[in-house]
Amino acid sequence: MNFSGRKSLRWIVPAVVVLALAAFPLGGFGISWLLILFLFFVYLAMANMWNLLAGYTGLVSLGQPGFIGIAGYTLGVLSLMGISPILGIAVAGGVAAGFAFLIAFPTLRLRGLYFAIGTLMVSEALSIFFDSFKPPGSNSATWGGAGIVIKSAATVSLNELYYLGLIVGVGSMIVMRYVLRSKLGLGLTAIRDNEQAASSLGVNIFRTKMYSLMVSAFVTGAASAVFYIFQGTIEPISGFGINWTIIVMIATIIGGIGVEYGPVLGAFVAVLLQQYLAAFTGTYLLIEGIILIVIISLAPSGVVGTIQKAWAKRSAKRKELVKAATQAVPAKA
């Protein structure tokens, strides 16, 4: 297959997969499979955005639950105001991105472990704040404790939820491909590899990191808004819980940090783990943690990353053999 054929195949295969997923609800496969794929789409979007930060920018964020929770609460407040779910998703993503812009100034001055701890503290502070939050104009039918009942959730069917999930999942893949092949993506990779060298080459370190954080927050916020339409309610423990951090880390690490298609496999595995570990209510986080340790120990590049490296090594060896064989053949007189 020539180069143009391989290039076309890179677009044809994903397009066929997306069309098949779009037609899936029409096949009568049952509600359980629709829900599994819906969660896969949401987790895929969140994992892609954590991969953008940790894998391509070198920012190991533990504050993704902050974006998830604040977007969920934004959707809840908008639903009380009678705003449509579609507009609510966009606004929730925008609010999460705006919040990322605000916290960028203190957190992006930190590096390494200090950045991770700083983002974790931001998420915990939001959890404490919303623990006593009462939305304006709420009543007992729409507000319970510090949680919000998302009224607009009742107007969205399961099939519509599925397609909203598909949009955010596929959209996150498109965003990743666009960012990684743009000037911003080159800057992010340069920062990850050597921040000082990137700065000397003219990369604005702070601004580039901030853009990455805002893109990650927007898509994560939109995906979480779709999830909370499905959930129907949001409250601080689930909205800002560490479980979200575990999910995005598992989905990314299993596939491979810094591997573009890694979260596709990782997100699906994360959904299956969640389904099968649901019975282990008290210990499922421990089990997931052990799985993370095993994956990091046996395949530091993740499953997809390890396969890609093995394939690249095999291709390089094949080229060397072909080259050696060509040089061994005597030239015709």
219: buried, middle or exposed (CB in 10 Å: 19+, 13-18, 0-12)?
buried
Cβ partners under 8 Å of residue 162, min gap 6: 24, 25, 34, 37, 38
Could you tell me if 277 and 319 lie in one domain? no
Backbone angles phi, psi at 194, to 5 degrees: -160, 100
Could you tell me if 270 and 318 lie in one domain? no
Could you tell me if 117 and 171 lie in one domain? yes
CB atoms within 10 A of CB 53: 26
HEC profile of 2-71: CHHHHHHHHHHHHHHHHHHHHHHHHHCCCHHHHHHHHHHHHHHHHHHHHHHHHCCCCCCCCCHHHHHHHH
How much is the pLDDT for 14?
Answer: 82
Could you tell me if 189 and 314 lie in one domain? no
pLDDT above 60 (res 10): yes
Mean pLDDT throughout 269-281?
Answer: 80
| pLDDT band with cut points at 50, 70 and 90 for residue 30 | confident
Which DSSP state fits 109? T
pLDDT above 50 (res 246): yes
CB atoms within 10 A of CB 86: 14
How much is the pLDDT for 208?
Answer: 93
Could you tell me if 249 and 322 lie in one domain? no
Could you tell me if 316 and 182 lie in one domain? no
How much is the pLDDT for 9?
Answer: 62
Share of the chain above pLDDT 70, in %: 88
How much is the pLDDT for 43?
Answer: 96
Could you tell me if 280 and 309 lie in one domain? no
pLDDT above 60 (res 3): no
How much is the pLDDT for 145?
Answer: 54
Cα 241 to Cα 69: distance, rounded to the nearest angstrom: 9
How much is the pLDDT for 17?
Answer: 87
Could you tell me if 294 and 306 lie in one domain? no
pLDDT above 80 (res 271): yes
288: buried, middle or exposed (CB in 10 Å: 19+, 13-18, 0-12)?
buried
Digit-coded pLDDT (tens) for 195-242: 888 888 888 999 999 999 999 999 999 999 999 999 988 888 888 988
Could you tell me if 16 and 110 lie in one domain? yes
| pLDDT band with cut points at 50, 70 and 90 for residue 282 | low
Could you tell me if 314 and 204 lie in one domain? no
CATH code of the domain in which 20 resides: 1.10.3470
CB atoms within 10 A of CB 72: 30
Could you tell me if 288 and 309 lie in one domain? no
Could you tell me if 207 and 311 lie in one domain? no
How much is the pLDDT for 303?
Answer: 78
pLDDT above 50 (res 333): no
Domain that holds residue 51: 3-300
How much is the pLDDT for 201?
Answer: 83
Query: What is the pLDDT of the chain when averaged over all its residues?
Result: 85
Q: Which residues of 184-212 are buried (b: 16+ CB within 10 A; e: fewer)?
A: bbebbbbbbeeeeebeeeebeeeebbbbb
Q: Which residues pair with 143 in a beta bridge?
A: 148
Q: How many structural domains comprise the chain?
A: 2
